């Protein structure tokens, strides 16, 4: 059967045509020394065979079918895996500049949508692996799972058996169907199977509706309201972070994982609650001399993966909700955020993620751009390896991720690794031109929160 992009993957792919909404994920792995490059190339070779999309390109289908994955007949691993010397002073700032440019660059649509660059000769004898991929390939949690294929001992990481296995490309990728008649036939077959499933469940639904009419109406109303909150129009909270452009600035911060957990425990919250509370504290500080702000519109990806999902593709849904700018007490703010994020995870619309993505993908691009532009920021919390790992004999010292802004003013991604939370900020400089000032306020927001447990 034809391998069409899922609704969520097709949506991410389509909005990336706008440079302001370019959907590139960039990850940075800092190493204590240069790894064996032959080993690194071999790991990416294995990865590209285990996850077929890493040897595929996106090609359009005839209307109304979504785009589809097609194996690249001229796949050249050397184009995707490169080795360079560290630029400039060879320090972290020099490497972050490479990451900033990577976050803004587009992909060649004639080739698979990823690249990896090993950066040697960093100051102090270190090295770095800079990877970038289109968001249509996978989401943040999926990228961490895929990255486990690169490390020296994936079994040590509790990786699922299929992660480490090399799957023959021919058997891993379903055969593509060429003529349009066969494509339509395949799609029709899928539609028939879906209809059969609906017919099997319909009698039970009718019986339930007949026996409990009031409850059914209330349930339908609650679901409709949840769908509206997920996909309906929203207004932004900040009146100063309004402009949008295509230039990005990135910076990093790090905090001890246990310190963030201890601060969260004071308010009976989670690490994610503390993370959002710290970001909100920084935003309050940044907006203090920019007029009154009472709340921020945030988008939070919610992971929907399970143990049976294959590697690759997006298994998250984006939930939009409002976070109050106050109160000033960080413990009370965490408590409020815990309640708000808990409500998001209970939304009925989560069951309709794929349907929503397909519907939004049909909306006019001006509407999509305006609604994504009304998001103040995106915040992602991605768990990485809890224990130290190595790559080609080199120890991984730190990991950072820079997720796309997708029309928001900035994206902040927390990637935990070996008891440290590496926090990557990807900032739209049209929305936030005074990046250094913004950075100082965000770091102060984390310091304010961590002071709770001292």
Catalytic annotation, residues: 135
Other C-beta atoms within 10 Å of 293: how many? 20
**Burial category of 57 from C-beta neighbours within 10 Å (exposed 0-12, middle 13-18, buried 19 and up):** buried
| 33 within 8 A of 125, measured Cβ to Cβ | yes
**Spatial separation of the C-alpha atoms in residues 419 and 423, rounded to whole Å:** 13
Cα 296 from Cα 242, distance rounded (Å): 12
In three-state form (DSSP H/G/I as H, E/B as E, the rest C), the secondary structure along the chain is CCCECCHHHHHHHHHCCCHHHCCEEEEEEEECCCCCHHHHHHHHHHHHHHCHHHHEEEECCCCCCCCEEEECCCCCHHHHEEEEECCCCCCHHHHHHHHHHHHHCCCCCCCCCEEEEEEECCHHHCEEEEEEEECCCECHHHHHHHHHHHCCCHHHHCCCHHHHCCCCHHHHCCCCCCCHHHHHHHHHHHHHHHHHHHHHHHHHHHHHHHHCHHHHHHHHHHHHHHHHHHHCCCCCCCCCCCCCCCCEEEEEEEEEHHHHHHHHHHCCCCHHHHHHHHHHHHHHHHHCCCCCCCEEEEEEEEECCCCCCCCCECCEEEEEEEEECCCCCHHHHHHHHHHHHHHHHCCHHHHHHHHHHHHHHCCCHHHHHHHHHCCCEEEEEEECCCCCCEECCEEEEEEEEECCCCCCCEEEEEEEECCEEEEEEEEECCCCCCHHHHHHHHHHHHHHHHHHHC
């Amino acid at each position: 059967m034809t391998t069409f992009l899922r609704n969520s993957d097709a949506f991410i792919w389509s909005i990336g045509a706008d440079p302001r909404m370019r959907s590139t994920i960039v990850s940075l792995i800092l190493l204590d020394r240069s790894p064996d490059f032959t080993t690194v190339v071999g790991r990416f070779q294995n990865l590209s065979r285990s996850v077929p999309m890493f040897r595929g390109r996106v090609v359009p289908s005839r209307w109304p079918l979504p785009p589809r994955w097609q194996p690249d007949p001229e796949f050249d691993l050397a184009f995707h895996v490169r080795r360079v010397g560290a630029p400039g002073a060879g320090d972290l700032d020099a490497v972050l500049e490479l990451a900033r440019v990577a976050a803004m660059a587009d992909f060649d649509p004639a080739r698979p949508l990823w690249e990896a660059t090993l950066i040697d000769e960093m100051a102090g004898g270190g090295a770095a692996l800079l990877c970038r991929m289109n968001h249509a390939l996978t989401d943040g949690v999926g990228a961490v799972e895929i990255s486990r294929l690169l490390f020296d001992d994936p079994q040590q990481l509790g990786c699922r058996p299929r992660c480490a296995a090399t799957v023959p490309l021919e058997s891993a990728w379903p055969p593509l169907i060429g003529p349009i008649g066969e494509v339509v036939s395949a799609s029709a077959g899928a539609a028939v199977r879906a209809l059969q499933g609906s017919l099997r469940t319909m009698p039970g639904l009718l019986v339930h509706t007949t026996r409990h009419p009031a409850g059914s109406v209330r349930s339908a109303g609650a679901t409709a309201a949840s769908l509206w909150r997920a996909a309906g129009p929203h207004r932004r909270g900040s009146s100063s972070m309004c402009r949008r452009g295509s230039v990005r600035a990135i910076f990093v911060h790090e905090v001890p994982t246990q310190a963030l957990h201890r601060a969260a425990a004071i308010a009976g919250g989670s690490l994610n609650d503390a993370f959002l509370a710290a970001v909100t504290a920084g935003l309050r500080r940044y907006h203090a001399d920019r007029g009154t702000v009472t709340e921020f519109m945030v988008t939070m990806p919610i992971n929907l993966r399970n143990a049976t999902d294959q590697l690759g593709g997006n298994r998250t849904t984006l939930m939009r909700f409002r976070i109050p700018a106050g109160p000033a007490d960080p413990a009370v703010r965490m408590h409020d955020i815990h309640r708000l994020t808990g409500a998001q995870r209970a939304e009925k619309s989560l069951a309709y993620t794929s349907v929503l993505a397909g519907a939004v993908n049909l909306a006019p691009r001006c509407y999509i751009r305006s609604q994504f532009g009304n998001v103040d920021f995106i915040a992602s919390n991605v768990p990485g390896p809890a224990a130290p790992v190595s790559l080609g004999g080199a120890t991984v010292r730190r990991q950072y991720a820079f997720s796309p802004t997708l029309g928001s003013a900035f994206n902040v991604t927390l990637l935990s690794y070996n008891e440290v939370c590496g926090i990557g900020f990807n900032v739209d400089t049209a929305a936030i031109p005074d990046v250094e000032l913004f950075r100082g306020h965000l770091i102060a927001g984390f310091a304010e929160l961590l002071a709770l447990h001292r």
